[in-house]
Amino acid sequence: MKIPSTSHVHMLSYLVVLLLLPLLSFAADPDSLQDFCVADLSASISVNGFPCKPASEVTSDDFFFDGLTKVGDTSNIFGSNVTGGNVLTFPALNTLGISMNRVDFAPGGVNPPHSHPRATESGVIIEGKLLVGFVTTGNVYHSKVLTAGQMFVIPKGLVHFQKNVGVGKALTIAAFNSQLPGAVVLPFTLFASTPSIPDDVLTRAFQVEEKVVQSIRSKFSS
């Protein structure tokens, strides 16, 4: 399959978004021990989650976030873009156990199979027509085509994806019961890790020849 040379760049910008997003992975977060603990992302010490910005420096603006107002750039190999409203971009979410994303899709765009290590995801379709599917640990595939206003839920930790099956672009707002749900994006996890998972592990696991593994890996190399 031919990829325009520019697409590596696009893929990378997509990867950047995904890498920002999944630095953490979650379950039900520990409960907050105060009204709020706005994250100090540049604290000198690192703890489970983030230390709190001094309460004296917290203002009303800390509790509101503009980052989801912009349409995401879908000109990448997947034709989709995730914009994260999580503790890394919206520090007030620290200790509060919730986050939200906007996901934009070009026509035919796919949010590739991935899992959120410790968060259940729920979402509402705002625009367009999306196929939403997930696979249980019992390997049962559940899916449905949704349009504006319809809601879905993806049980915690299961592999799922969305595909824009409409004629125009699509948009969904997703919520997670975690301040940073994390994302194990399978194409990257399996074929774009640093260093690489050994070829013989992947050939045995997926029952393919080495050249298939190398071909897929080349698509994600940067």
The amino acid at residue 183 is A
Q: What is the four-CA torsion angle of 183, 208, 110, 66, rounded to 10 degrees?
A: 20
Of residues 69-108, those binding a second copy (CB under 8 A): 69-70, 77-79, 85, 90, 92-93, 95-100, 102, 108
Q: Does 24 bind a second copy (CB under 8 A)?
A: yes
C-beta of 151: minimal distance to a second copy in Å?
4
- Which of residues 170 and 183 has its CB atom nearest to a second copy in the complex? 183
- Smallest separation, CB 107 to a second copy (Å): 12
- Amino acid letter, residue 92: A
Nearer to a second copy, 155 or 168 (CB): 155
Q: Least distance to a second copy from the beta carbon of 69, Å? A: 3
**For residues 153-182, which are near a second copy according to CB under 8 A?**
153-159, 161, 163, 173, 175-180, 182
Does 207 engage in binding with a second copy (CB under 8 A)?
A: yes
Token pair for 14: 């997509």
Does 12 bind a second copy (CB under 8 A)? Our answer is: no
First to last CA, the chain: 17
Q: Judged by CB under 8 A, does residue 149 bind a second copy?
A: yes
> What is the C-alpha separation between 83 and 122, in angstroms, rounded?
15
**Residue of 147, 163, 160 lying closest to 108 (CA atoms):** 163
Q: φ and ψ at 152, to 5 degrees?
A: -130, 165
- Under rule CB under 8 A, residue 42 binds a second copy: no
Site string for a second copy, 109-128 (x = CB under 8 A): -x-xx-xxxx-xxxxx-x--
Which amino acid does the sequence have at 44? S
Beta bridge partners of 123: 152, 174
Element (H, E) at 45: none
- Provide, rounded to whole angstroms, the least separation between the CB of residue 40 and a second copy: 8
